[in-house]
């Protein structure tokens, strides 16, 4: 299992009229966690794309528990629980600075060969990098 924690601070423009973080921003927060989890493997998302591998999102779900507010520090815990095949699933938990659970979520992406625009298995270099976590 690969697990990575990432922190960010809520900016004023990310809140709605009620003062809560606008619900749609969590997709971006999850992306921050996902990109940092891939860095933990030793490469960036950009590098993957440069190596002709794309990872479009095919499923996104979230369960909200509590709101976050302007200037809260959010801790995003991103976990890959199983070895990927054609699909890779990232699980998320977001906490505030008081360690209160704000939400849980899951995002599934599919490996796409950029050359032929078709789903594919993860490349060998990706498998080699991730298998040490399992």
What spatial distance separates the first Cα and last Cα of the chain, rounded to whole Å?
Answer: 5
What pLDDT is attached to residue 89? 98
- pTM assigned to the model: 0.94
What pLDDT is attached to residue 52? 95
Mind listing the pLDDT tens digit of every residue in the chain (134 residues)? 999 999 999 999 999 999 999 999 999 999 999 999 999 999 888 999 999 999 999 999 999 999 999 999 999 999 999 999 999 999 999 999 999 999 999 999 999 999 999 999 999 999 999 999 99
For 10-49, where are the E strands, in sequence order?
none
Q: What percent of the chain has pLDDT over 70?
A: 100
Please give the torsion angle defined by the CA atoms of residues 45, 47, 51 and 52, in that order, rounded to the nearest 10 degrees. Answer: 40
What pLDDT is attached to residue 11? 97
**Strands of 87-95's sheet, edge to edge?**
2-9, 73-80, 87-95, 101-110, 57-64
Per-residue b/e over 31-46, b at no fewer than 16 CB within 10 Å? bebbebbbebbeeebe
What pLDDT is attached to residue 129? 94
Contacts of 9 (CB under 8 A, 6+ apart): 71, 72, 73, 74
Domains and CATH numbers, the chain: 2-133 (3.10.129.10)
What pLDDT is attached to residue 71? 96
Per-residue b/e over 48-81, b at no fewer than 16 CB within 10 Å? beeeebbbeeeeeebeeeebbeeebebbbbbbbe
């Amino acid at each position: 299992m690969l697990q990575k924690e990432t922190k960010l601070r809520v900016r004023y423009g990310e809140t709605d009229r009620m003062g809560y973080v606008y619900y749609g921003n969590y997709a971006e927060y999850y992306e921050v966690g996902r990109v940092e989890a891939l860095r933990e493997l030793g490469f960036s998302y950009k590098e993957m794309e440069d190596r002709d591998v794309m990872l479009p999102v095919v499923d996104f779900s979230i369960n909200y528990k509590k709101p976050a507010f302007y200037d809260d520090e959010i801790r995003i815990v991103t976990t890959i629980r199983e070895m990927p095949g054609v699909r890779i699933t990232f699980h998320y938990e977001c906490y505030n600075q008081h360690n209160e659970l704000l939400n849980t979520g899951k995002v599934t992406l599919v490996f796409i060969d950029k050359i032929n625009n078709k789903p594919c298995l993860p490349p060998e270099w990706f498998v080699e990098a991730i298998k040490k976590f399992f």
